[in-house]
Structure 1
Amino acid sequence: MSKKHSYIESYFMRYCVVLSLFFVFGCSNTKYLPKGDLLYTGGTVTVKDTILNKKDRKALESELETLLRPKPNKQILGLKPKLWFYNIAGEPKKQKGIRYWLRNKVGEAPVLFSKVDLEYNASVLRNFAENRGYFKTRVSADSTVKDKRVTAEYIVIPKKQYKIKSVTFPQDSSEIAKVISKTSRRSLLKVGNPYDLDIIKAERERIDARLKEKGYYYFNPDYILAQVDSSKGDHEVKIKLKIKEETPVKATVAYKIDKILVYPNYSLSNDSAVYRNKDRKQYNDFTIIDTADTFKPRVFDRTIYFKKGDLYNRKDHNLTLNRFVNLGTFNFVKNEFKESDSIKNALDSYYYLTLLPKKFIRVEVLGKTNSASYTGTEINANWNNRNFFRGAELFTVSVFSGADFQLSGQNSGKNIYKLGAETSLTWPRFITPFRIEGNSEFVPRTKATLRYEYQKRTQLYALNSFNTSFGYLWKENIRKEHQFNIVDITYVSPNNVTPEYLEDIEEDASLGRVIEKQLIFGPTYSYTYTNTMQKRKKNTFYFNGELDLAGNITGLVTGANIKKNDTIKIFDVPFSQYVKIKADLRHYLKLGKESELASRIILGAGFAYGNSNTLPTSKQFVVGGTNSIRAFRARSLGPGSYKAEVTSSDYVPDQSADLKLEFNTEYRAKLFSIVRGAVFVDAGNIWLLNADPNRPNAEITKDFMKQIAVGAGAGLRFDLSFLVLRTDLAFPLRIPYLPEGQRWVIDDINFGSGSWRKDNLIFNIAIGYPF
């Protein structure tokens, strides 16, 4: 027997023993029960109805079963591991230690039958069925005991479901009745639909929401009465909606906005509402009350959507509050409406705004490691000044430095050091020659950035990078976000290139592009859509699309054509001309309360033309590493089936290309406490658009799918609330640079072999999920 098979057999035997013990101990849970009590294992609901079809009957049974209380102990494959841990831990003497943690954090107390109220559950089922239109439903309850375990059984016998025969809205001549009647075409109550109390409640909420948009500030859904008449017809009801007679008069009147008062420097600790007359400033429809003259008045003109004389509108009410919060200047935002003392049926609107600290410093220190055997640290210090020009602007100055040390591998000693600074100014509005009005709850922003970074790769070269940009960021809503940089300029200049690296370039000319001077300028655009914040949805998505256009207009105007040796230079540097697009689509399938299947596909393409024959190295695509194909070291994979050879200096260069295709899928589940587990498969590669004699088999062809790399692995995620620490262990399943017919290496997997583990297992540590 081979060593490989011996290891697998040994592992399988140990697994069987552990599983057998788990079954044995799982069956012993009942011996820990209090004397005279039983373990409650859950309840079932059976609907006996010859009118309902099988599908509807099963759906009703499933709904009813979710109402049963209490819920039984959680189980996996018929076992209750959390209950088992609770029992074996015993009663801890102290509220700390391993026993306390095992019993209270990992374990789960038994759900006892003495806590089950059969009659109460039966009444809940009956009420639910009748609220769904199954009037005069009968419910009976019983239980079955076996081996100190008990199940509850409920028999539900509903009558024929009642349907809606007619819906009548208020018919009187009052203004509020007319407004309600005009909403009838959007009513949730439809003739012929089953009677449903929840739908009636939702209809009242809908009417109230509509009235709130028409000035009825004091109205609420409880003022609407739904009279249901089931006395006539064959299992049919007539629903009549009316305004209750005891409804307050002011709830039936539409209110307008009178005075608008803003306290932009309000203190929660003092009675700041008392000010002198000289502290009051009138600006358009607003009265601004501020002793320190903290803001320019136009800030409020752009933020408050109410104007004097407008009907009260809840949409504008909420929109204003959200925009105040999104300015990023206020710690506390409070809005209050009071009846006007000068105009009938009018409201005065008060805004009390408490400031965040104007200036603050944030320092971040982190340690990091990646699959290219680099281990390092980074420090960032950010100084921020809110309300820089009294217009709620944010001015930021950042300095950063870091070092990555390669302690092992072929590149040992070739460390990376970086140092830089960045300053930015963000305005809470669009800065354009013409005014742009928006109705989003999110404040649009204009941002200008200036950045410098010095990066030193010891024994190789150093790079000076300058970047400046000016553009806009705005969100249509919570799901859709845009970023458009009108100007995005990058200049890269090398220095201190070592003779060692120059020798490497003689062996691989593609390395020379890394140290070329680069001038990149042009607009960039990014669009992001996500609904992942909707936790209850089974399927959620994330999409990000990017467009990068560099030097296109300049190249067109100057007629630049590198193929005709007609390269145009600016400040003695050829400018880059290209089009680059990238799409990142992610899908999250919720499988259970604590598990999901996450998948991602990335497509990218860049095309250089005119003044350039290749994309700048910094703009090319790469794969491999902690957030990509984790079975391969960062930037070491591709292009195509090309494999970078070790140079005379034992230096393995980064690999990049013009095209990218990547797919990842990952099953995630909670194991216990803060620990989550994952198993994953990654696949993909990068390619060149045009053949490169220095990198054979790197260009895209019709057989590109034969060059796809595949890796798999498993990992743990430690969710600490403020961050997620991720560890992944991955290994290759398909290696594209091997000869055709030998690229699948599944048969070579041997976890028992030290040499195999050394050559194939890649360990990654990272912060956050990979996607």
Structure 2
Amino acid sequence: MNKKHNHISLFQKCMTLFSLFFVLGCSNTKYLPEGELLYTGGSVTVKDSVLKKKERKALETELEGLLRPKPNKKFLGLRPKLWIYNLAGEPKKEKGTRYWLRNKVGEPPVLFSQVDLDYNASVLRNYTENRGFFKTRVSADSTAKNKRVTAEYTVTPKKQYKIKSVIFPDDSLAMSRIIGRSSRRSLLKVGNPYDLDVIKAERERIDARLKEKGYYYFNPDYILAKVDSSKGDHEVNIRLVIKDDTPVKALTAYKIDKIFVYPNYSLTNDSMVYRKRNIQQYKDFTIIDTTETFKPRVYDRTIYFKKGDLYNRKDHNLTLNRFVNLGTFSFVKNEFKPSDSIKNALDSYYYLTLLPKKFIRVEVLGKTNSASYTGTEVNVNWNNRNFFRGAELFTFSIFGGADFQLGGVNKGKNIYKLGAETSLTWPRFITPFNIEGNSEYVPRTKVTLRYEYQKRTQLYALNSFNTSFGYLWKENIRKEHQLNVVDITYVSPNHVTPEYMDDIAQDPALGKVIEKQLIFGPTYNYTYTNTMQKRRKNTIYFNGELDLAGNITGLVTGANYNKDNVKTIFDVPFSQYVKIRSDFRHYLKLSKESELASRLIVGAGFAYGNSNTLPTSKQFVAGGTNSIRAFRARTLGPGSYVLPDNLTNNYTPDQSGDIKLEFSTEYRAKLFSIVRGAVFLDAGNIWLLNADPNKPGAEFSKDFMKEFAVGAGVGLRFDLSFLILRTDLAMPLRNPALPDGQRWVIDDINFGSSSWRKDNLILNIAIGYPF
């Protein structure tokens, strides 16, 4: 009865709050200036009996997007930003809370006096005629009620014109033959509707094609599209011609003559100073460098033009992008000038402004997690951008941190870590073979050496060593690869306390944390994303990982064939396993300020030969700020396994598994100013590949779907431009740790109960989006 009363009370409070908000939203019009009306938006109706309903609705949506001004933004049918603007009132000074609310959070009213109906009508008429609906009629009207006005536009187009024929330049110019040979790639297709934007895009396409054939001075304005609509039934003939007044140099293909490079160019000094001294000739390049900053081969790998090459836009942009991606220049400028010695040739000049060669970066981080740990970390990095005069990046870092549990079950078992890392990155592939990439992104070879000491007070300490050698390269802006040919990790424990050894006797799984580990083998990572294409309605992100450990070593030592005799290297058993993981994300843009984001993670690891299980550091975990947010980090699973009470009293659960399935989806929308909101649903779990008698219910079986955890919640994200602060409040809807048949806990939800809130509401605070 109390639970029912709490639900009714909460419902009444929500309804009262909503009603109050609605009343306040309705009061927006009383603040309008005398004689003014609030403009609430415009609508467009297309009257056309030929267009299909879907096409007509799509055209109406396009046309409504052209109307100006835009009305005040709405949320749930109300205008909260306008309400905040009115509530704040006129500030007395240009600072303070009132000024911030009115001018940063709020939004001034859009008045009907700002709306020009005739101008909007002409915009709609021009747009539809440019789409082939010639002789379109547009009428405009408005409707006023309760100091609010809407604008209504009626568009009556004629039948849309289609393309009957397309004729390309057929004169004797060399460029006309190039244009003709590329006609199969034309954007102008017979039978398609006439569209002025497509004609403009076709001119851009032709210009881009000519730029690849040496026509440096050509531009799209030199192409004229003659449209004839006098013949045929609502059809047009399009003829593309080169304008008669096109300059001679635009009709000429140019080659590359001399190439000059200024690696120490200053934006403040006259560049002519550099031309009088320290001139070095290397292959086709004339290098003017007062300090011999780089080895000349750096330019040979970066500049794709050679003397005598026909100019082309691809190599032009490729060279500039590779100079930028070297990471050593703050400014890159390129000029082409007519050659003084060769007719129809260009001299190329590259002006490069250096970034500081050496620099120190200090990072201080504050962090918290759902296991009640709060801590800090300090990183000090010393960097050299040109270590061997070949644009190599050398980095040396030292770091230290501490995590303290201010509340929870660990009772002062704080975590401290200290370590160092050094790495060297070459802007090229270092291989026995000569491999040269032709991507705009510079391929890199990287070697890393890292040591970390981690101390968990009252329990144990771990020494961790890692070294790797591998390659990083991007095919293009969407595809990226990372291959570590060598990746070796060695973990050794020390200072293990008797208290921890006693706990291992109760739970043997705790012993895996302090086992010596030797992991080595190749790893490969592939990423594909098109999320940078902001105009796409659907975008995706995919990351795939492959981790192979001890494969060749197992063949050499015979570990693959004799599992009873564990093989060691330096008296340490080496790990053998295959691990794969994929992370797929989909983003559906619902509007300019909202989207639906979804993620699917699938991972599995298989230990064999010299290993019975995956190393602890390579196993999967679930729960926490970037996983299933209704469960604390590492507390979920594996399967339906429940950690015994005697162990939960001593440790924060640290569950891991060999298999992971996880799905998340969340609706994201901008609320106001820098604040964004989200509603999310998470589901998934981890499992062991093989049954463990010490962990009943942890193994993967045909009933794995019954062991899915489900959580839901809401969140706020504060976009501070330099970072995004995220707060997510989640609660479980399904708990696999409960007996079968009792795992759905939706009926137990009771926001009015303090004990329920304490046990079920999980607040996650993090930086950045979860995916």
TM-score (normalizing by structure 2)? 0.98
Quote the residue 1:46 is aligned against: 45
Question: In the aligned structure 2, how far is the partner of 1:592 from the partner of 1:50?
Answer: 29
* Equivalent residue letter for 1:13: Q
Question: In the aligned structure 2, how far is the partner of 1:267 from the partner of 1:380?
Answer: 33
Question: In the aligned structure 1, how far is the partner of 2:761 from the partner of 2:532?
Answer: 35
Q: Does the 8 Å contact 1:132/1:196 carry over to 2?
A: yes
Cα offset for 1:524?
Answer: 0.3
Instruction: Let me know the Cα RMSD of the aligned residues.
Output: 1.5
Question: In the aligned structure 1, how far is the partner of 2:718 from the partner of 2:37?
Answer: 37
Cα displacement string for residues 696-738 of structure 1 (whole angstroms, at most 9, x for unaligned residues): 2211111111111122222221111111111222222222121
Equivalences, count: 770
Quote the residue 2:422 is aligned against: 423
- Which secondary structure state, in structure 2, belongs to the residue aligned with residue 143 of structure 1? strand
Question: In the aligned structure 1, how far is the partner of 2:672 from the partner of 2:529?
Answer: 28
Question: In the aligned structure 1, how far is the partner of 2:744 from the partner of 2:419?
Answer: 44
- Which secondary structure state, in structure 2, belongs to the residue aligned with residue 343 of structure 1? coil
Runs of 4+ in 1 over 3 A off after TM superposition: 275-278, 561-564, 646-649
* Equivalent residue letter for 2:144: V
* Equivalent residue letter for 1:393: E
Pair 1:230-2:229 in alignment: yes
Q: Does the 8 Å contact 1:562/1:612 carry over to 2?
A: no
* Equivalent residue letter for 2:547: D
* Equivalent residue letter for 1:313: N
Cα offset for 1:276?
Answer: 6.0
* Equivalent residue letter for 1:406: Q
- Which secondary structure state, in structure 2, belongs to the residue aligned with residue 274 of structure 1? helix
1:190-205 correspondence runs (5 A): 190-205=189-204
Q: Does the 8 Å contact 2:295/2:389 carry over to 1?
A: yes
Cα offset for 1:459?
Answer: 0.8
Quote the residue 2:713 is aligned against: 713
Cα displacement string for residues 658-711 of structure 1 (whole angstroms, at most 9, x for unaligned residues): 111111112222222212222222221111111112112211111111111122
Quote the residue 1:25 is aligned against: 24
Q: Which deviates more from structure 2 when the two are superposed, residues 384-393 or residues 66-75?
A: 66-75
Q: Does the 8 Å contact 2:563/2:609 carry over to 1?
A: no
Quote the residue 1:724 is aligned against: 724
Name the CA shift for 1:95/1:734 in 2 (closer, same or farther; >3 Å): same
Quote the residue 1:700 is aligned against: 700
Name the CA shift for 1:50/1:661 in 2 (closer, same or farther; >3 Å): closer
Quote the residue 2:496 is aligned against: 497
Quote the residue 1:616 is aligned against: 615
Cα displacement string for residues 5-39 of structure 1 (whole angstroms, at most 9, x for unaligned residues): 22222221122122222222222222222222222
1:474-485 correspondence runs (5 A): 474-485=473-484
Name the CA shift for 1:109/1:278 in 2 (closer, same or farther; >3 Å): closer
Cα offset for 1:333?
Answer: 0.3
1:448-597 correspondence runs (5 A): 448-560=447-559, 564-597=563-596
Quote the residue 2:754 is aligned against: 754
Pair 1:8-2:16 in alignment: no
Cα displacement string for residues 91-137 of structure 1 (whole angstroms, at most 9, x for unaligned residues): 21112222222222222111111111111111111111211122222
Quote the residue 1:256 is aligned against: 255
Cα offset for 1:54?
Answer: 2.9
Question: In the aligned structure 1, how far is the partner of 2:690 from the partner of 2:59?
Answer: 61
Question: In the aligned structure 2, how far is the partner of 1:769 from the partner of 1:144?
Answer: 43
Q: Does the 8 Å contact 1:631/1:762 carry over to 2?
A: yes
- Which secondary structure state, in structure 2, belongs to the residue aligned with residue 273 of structure 1? helix
* Equivalent residue letter for 1:314: R
Q: Does the 8 Å contact 1:626/1:766 carry over to 2?
A: yes
Cα offset for 1:293?
Answer: 0.4
Q: Which deviates more from structure 2 when the two are superposed, residues 139-148 or residues 423-432?
A: 139-148
Q: Does the 8 Å contact 2:637/2:698 carry over to 1?
A: yes
- Which secondary structure state, in structure 2, belongs to the residue aligned with residue 161 of structure 1? coil
TM-score (normalizing by structure 1)? 0.98
Identity %: 82
Question: In the aligned structure 2, how far is the partner of 1:763 from the partner of 1:26?
Answer: 31
Cα displacement string for residues 158-205 of structure 1 (whole angstroms, at most 9, x for unaligned residues): 222222222111111111111111121211111222211111111111
Q: Does the 8 Å contact 1:528/1:543 carry over to 2?
A: yes
* Equivalent residue letter for 2:698: A
Q: Does the 8 Å contact 1:474/1:483 carry over to 2?
A: yes
Q: Which deviates more from structure 2 when the two are superposed, residues 587-596 or residues 425-434?
A: 587-596
Quote the residue 1:769 is aligned against: 769
Name the CA shift for 1:731/1:144 in 2 (closer, same or farther; >3 Å): closer
Question: In the aligned structure 1, how far is the partner of 2:697 from the partner of 2:576?
Answer: 25
Q: Does the 8 Å contact 2:363/2:378 carry over to 1?
A: yes
Q: Does the 8 Å contact 2:257/2:308 carry over to 1?
A: yes
Question: In the aligned structure 2, how far is the partner of 1:276 from the partner of 1:211?
Answer: 33
Name the CA shift for 1:276/1:116 in 2 (closer, same or farther; >3 Å): closer
Question: In the aligned structure 1, how far is the partner of 2:429 from the partner of 2:385?
Answer: 18
Q: Does the 8 Å contact 1:682/1:712 carry over to 2?
A: yes
Cα offset for 1:157?
Answer: 2.1
Quote the residue 2:442 is aligned against: 443
Q: Does the 8 Å contact 2:371/2:652 carry over to 1?
A: no
Cα offset for 1:56?
Answer: 2.6
Question: In the aligned structure 2, how far is the partner of 1:414 from the partner of 1:518?
Answer: 23
* Equivalent residue letter for 1:473: L
Cα offset for 1:346?
Answer: 0.4
Q: Which deviates more from structure 2 when the two are superposed, residues 547-556 or residues 111-120?
A: 111-120
Quote the residue 2:735 is aligned against: 735
* Equivalent residue letter for 1:645: P
Pair 1:400-2:399 in alignment: yes
Cα displacement string for residues 235-276 of structure 1 (whole angstroms, at most 9, x for unaligned residues): 222211111111110000000000011111111111233336
Question: In the aligned structure 1, how far is the partner of 2:596 from the partner of 2:155?
Answer: 36
Cα displacement string for residues 216-238 of structure 1 (whole angstroms, at most 9, x for unaligned residues): 00000001111111222222222
Q: Does the 8 Å contact 1:326/1:442 carry over to 2?
A: yes
Question: In the aligned structure 2, how far is the partner of 1:81 from the partner of 1:196?
Answer: 40
1:258-297 correspondence runs (5 A): 258-275=257-274, 279-297=278-296
Cα offset for 1:487?
Answer: 0.2
* Equivalent residue letter for 2:633: A
* Equivalent residue letter for 1:659: I
Cα displacement string for residues 351-392 of structure 1 (whole angstroms, at most 9, x for unaligned residues): 000000000011111111111111111111111001100000
Cα offset for 1:563?
Answer: 6.0
1:80-95 correspondence runs (5 A): 80-95=79-94
Cα displacement string for residues 301-321 of structure 1 (whole angstroms, at most 9, x for unaligned residues): 111111111111001100100
Question: In the aligned structure 1, how far is the partner of 2:756 from the partner of 2:104?
Answer: 38
Name the CA shift for 1:677/1:155 in 2 (closer, same or farther; >3 Å): closer
Q: Does the 8 Å contact 2:462/2:491 carry over to 1?
A: yes
* Structure 2 unmatched runs, 5+: none
Cα displacement string for residues 468-511 of structure 1 (whole angstroms, at most 9, x for unaligned residues): 00000000011110000000000000000000010011111111
Q: Does the 8 Å contact 1:562/1:613 carry over to 2?
A: no
Name the CA shift for 1:670/1:227 in 2 (closer, same or farther; >3 Å): same
Question: In the aligned structure 1, how far is the partner of 2:646 from the partner of 2:380?
Answer: 38
Q: Does the 8 Å contact 1:646/1:652 carry over to 2?
A: no
Question: In the aligned structure 1, how far is the partner of 2:502 from the partner of 2:66?
Answer: 74
Name the CA shift for 1:71/1:281 in 2 (closer, same or farther; >3 Å): same
Quote the residue 1:388 is aligned against: 387
Pair 1:338-2:310 in alignment: no
Name the CA shift for 1:689/1:246 in 2 (closer, same or farther; >3 Å): same
Q: Does the 8 Å contact 2:81/2:672 carry over to 1?
A: no
Question: In the aligned structure 1, how far is the partner of 2:560 from the partner of 2:441?
Answer: 44
Question: In the aligned structure 2, how far is the partner of 1:652 from the partner of 1:20?
Answer: 45
Question: In the aligned structure 2, how far is the partner of 1:759 from the partner of 1:19?
Answer: 29
Question: In the aligned structure 1, how far is the partner of 2:125 from the partner of 2:77?
Answer: 30
Q: Does the 8 Å contact 1:511/1:653 carry over to 2?
A: no
Q: Does the 8 Å contact 2:416/2:454 carry over to 1?
A: yes
Q: Which deviates more from structure 2 when the two are superposed, residues 572-581 or residues 188-197?
A: 188-197
- Which secondary structure state, in structure 1, belongs to the residue aligned with residue 274 of structure 2? coil
- Which secondary structure state, in structure 2, belongs to the residue aligned with residue 37 of structure 1? coil
- Which secondary structure state, in structure 2, belongs to the residue aligned with residue 181 of structure 1? helix
Cα offset for 1:46?
Answer: 2.2
Cα displacement string for residues 453-475 of structure 1 (whole angstroms, at most 9, x for unaligned residues): 00001111000000000000000
Quote the residue 1:641 is aligned against: 640
Quote the residue 1:360 is aligned against: 359
Quote the residue 1:318 is aligned against: 317
Q: Which deviates more from structure 2 when the two are superposed, residues 628-637 or residues 462-471?
A: 628-637
